[in-house]
Amino acid sequence: MNKSRPIYAPFQFDPSGARHLLVTDQPDPPADLNTNVQTLTARTHTADAILAFLPPHLATQTTGLRLYAIGSEAFVWDVNAIALAAGMGAGEVHLTRAGPLIRRVYCTHCQTMADDVATTITQCPGCGATLEVRDHFSRHHRAFMGVQVDAEAPGEIPAPEGFRS
Residues that bind another protein (CB under 8 A): 1-5, 16-19, 58-59, 61-66, 86-92, 106, 108-109, 111, 129, 134-141, 145, 147-148, 151-153
In the complex, what is the shortest distance from the CB of residue 114 to another protein, in angstroms, rounded to a whole number?
Answer: 14
- Nearest approach, Cβ of 24 to another protein (angstroms)? 20
Task: Report the 10 Å Cβ neighbour count for 11.
Answer: 18
The residue among 74 and 88 lying less far from another protein, judged by its C-beta, is 88
Query: Which DSSP string corresponds to 82-134?
Result: HHHHTT--TTTEEEEE-SS--EEEEETTT--EEEEE-BSEEE-TTT--EEEEE
Q: Which residue, 5 or 42, has its beta carbon nearer to another protein? A: 5
DSSP 8-state code for residue 19 = E
Judged by beta carbon, residue 40 or residue 129, the one nearer another protein is 129
Q: Which SS3 state, helix, strand or coil, does residue 21 take?
A: strand
Alpha-carbon distance of 114 to 63, in angstroms, equals 35
Question: Is the Cβ of residue 49 or residue 151 nearer to another protein in the bound state?
Answer: 151
